[in-house]
A = this chain, B = another copy of it.
């Protein structure tokens, strides 16, 4: 199986902050390149995310903007 999402970047969890419903997860996808995800706290727990764990970042192309 493959995802239609065009952006799948391998990385490692660097930071994690959990609220009641939403959580913020920081993933390093290349040396010094950090990506922050806001996902539900339920997902953080279901996926067993923790600092140091491997995680892929997935982003649909229609959610990406450009600045030039």
Contact = CB atoms under 8 A, between A and B. Distances in A.
Interface of A: 1-9, 13, 17-25, 27, 29-31, 33-40, 42-44, 46-49, 53-68
Given A3-B67, A4-B39, A39-B60, 13 more contacts: A2-B68, A3-B58, A5-B43, A19-B19, A19-B20, A19-B22, A29-B30, A29-B33, A37-B66, A39-B66, A55-B67, A57-B65, A58-B67
Number of copies: 6
Contact of A67 (B1, B29, B34, B38): B1
Contacts of A64: 35-39, 57-59
Nearest to A36: B6
